[in-house]
Amino acid sequence: MNSALETASSGSKDGIGRPTMPARRVAVLTGNGTLFAGFTFARFRHALAAMDSSVIAIGAIVGGHPAGLALGTCRKGEGAELLSVAVAPAVRRSGIGLALIETWREEATRRGSAVMIARYTDTNTGSAAFEALVRRAAWSEPVEDGLMVTGRAGAMADVVGAWRAIGGRLAQPGLYEYAPVELTDADRARIANYLAQPVAVDMLGPAALSDRTSPAFSTLIRREGVLVGWVLASEMADHSIRYEEAFLDPVYWHSGIAIGAYHHCYARQACLLGRDSIATYYTNSTRPRMVALTRRRFAPIADRIDTILAVRSTGRATTPDSLNRKGKPHEHRRA
Ligand SMILES: CC(C)(COP(=O)(O)OP(=O)(O)OC[C@H]1O[C@@H](n2cnc3c(N)ncnc32)[C@H](O)[C@@H]1OP(=O)(O)O)[C@@H](O)C(=O)NCCC(=O)NCCS
């Protein structure tokens, strides 16, 4: 690990200066943070190997050993997202988790984020502790944020392929094309125009997502050569494919075109990675049509559909007595 310790260490001593409690500290990690990889989910571990400016990793060190991690991202234009927080079981309930998320929040603020979000499912073991922790740190109460669908590429392709709506598209070969994600200047201008519309709220588009888009599993939707939509996917560290974003010009809604695009991508995934390869997609609560469609169409074939909850924080300090500032674990109990 090559970590820049930006915070002071704590620990306590008895009357004649002998340590009675291992020194504890939390630190902003930089460089290679893989010593802390055991404190996050497998799918996020690659982010610790070579941390770029989009990664915010805060490590907890107790007695010289890694003892916890708060990991998240902070991307320009997207705000900050806390992806995971975990503390070694032996040192839980001593203020480390709180110190981790407070330091993570401070670091996100320092890097320009005004709002931080954390998404989770209430079916995860640990969600109750996590909710109690963020409540303690004065984050918002949880709200439903969307649905996460996990299924198999082959079954997903079969389901969308069997939709009646898709027949309309298949009856018009040549009119629509599912094209590689290669953007012309005209495409970029159209994308910017689409992203400015309310229907595309919170979307990032093919240009901004290009660094994490996996071309083999993504497509642009063209109508007579003109870009009218996209389906963008990325390959996760566990080789599952996450469908990140889909957009279609509202003029062409109800034409089966978007379904056709998904069919195209799922079928290609099934072909390249196998029918049983995992495909996930997330649908946001702000898109009720998609949520309803997901429940109706995908629930019968999905491996699982998780309700995603979100908590949010502003950049304001809420617990001024976290681990490093006063140096005494549990001091926050007396606040
Ligand atoms: C969630 C977790 C990170 C909390 O870490 P921690 O170091 O124990 O948290 P803290 O000691 O800083 O707790 C601060 C406050 O949060 C609340 N809290 C934390 N864990 C709690 C729990 N298990 N039950 C109830 N409240 C809890 C309490 O208000 C606590 O203050 P208190 O001890 O004075 O009552 C830890 O339980 C953990 O690693 N869990 C497993 C991983 C996980 O599930 N992470 C969440 C999903 S990514």
CATH of the domain at 285: 3.40.630.30
Q: 135 CB less than 6 Å from ligand 1?
A: no
164 Cβ contact list (under 8 Å, min separation 6) = none
Q: Which of 25, 92, 103, 309 to mutate to test the pocket of ligand 1 (most atoms within 8 A of CB)?
A: 92
Residue closest via CA to ligand 1's atom 33 equals 93
Q: Three-state SS for 231?
A: strand
Q: Are residues 304 and 319 in the same domain?
A: no
Question: Which pLDDT belongs to residue 172?
Answer: 67
Weakly modelled stretches of the chain, pLDDT under 70? 1-20, 77, 165-173, 315-335
Question: Which pLDDT belongs to residue 330?
Answer: 31
Q: 129 CB less than 6 Å from ligand 1?
A: yes
Is residue 139 a part of any domain in this protein? no
Q: Are residues 212 and 263 in the same domain?
A: yes
Q: Are residues 77 and 153 in the same domain?
A: no
Task: Tell which residue, 103, 25, 35, 13, has the closest CA to residue 63.
Answer: 25
Q: What is the mean pLDDT of the chain?
A: 85
pLDDT digits (tens, 9 = 90+) for 200-212: 887 899 998 888 8
Is residue 122 a part of any domain in this protein? no
> What does the alpha-carbon distance between residue 11 and residue 140 come to, in Å, rounded to a whole number?
31
Q: Are residues 163 and 300 in the same domain?
A: yes
Helix, strand, coil tally for the chain in percent (to 5): 35, 30, 35
Q: Are residues 65 and 159 in the same domain?
A: no
Q: Are residues 287 and 234 in the same domain?
A: yes
Q: Are residues 237 and 321 in the same domain?
A: no
Residue closest via CA to ligand 1's atom 34 equals 333
Is residue 95 a part of any domain in this protein? yes
Q: Are residues 108 and 217 in the same domain?
A: no
Q: Which atom of ligand 1 is nearest to the CA of 87?
A: 39
Q: Are residues 298 and 319 in the same domain?
A: no
Q: 96 CB less than 6 Å from ligand 1?
A: yes
What percentage of residues in the chain have a pLDDT greater than 70?
Answer: 85
Q: 136 CB less than 6 Å from ligand 1?
A: yes
Q: Are residues 155 and 289 in the same domain?
A: yes
Is residue 135 a part of any domain in this protein? no
**pTM given for the model:** 0.74
Q: Are residues 91 and 161 in the same domain?
A: no
pLDDT digits (tens, 9 = 90+) for 55-103: 999 999 999 999 999 999 998 767 899 999 999 999 999 999 999 999 9
Residue closest via CA to ligand 1's atom 43 equals 126
Per-position b or e across 106-140, b if 16+ CB within 10 A of its CB: bbbbeeebeebbbbbeeeeeeeeebbebbebbebe
Q: Are residues 26 and 71 in the same domain?
A: yes
Q: Give the structural domain span for 189.
A: 147-308
For the chain, the residue count is 335
Is residue 121 a part of any domain in this protein? no
> What is the sign of the dihedral through the CA atoms of 250, 251, 254 and 257?
negative
**Count of the separate structural domains present in the chain:** 2
Question: Which pLDDT belongs to residue 317?
Answer: 55
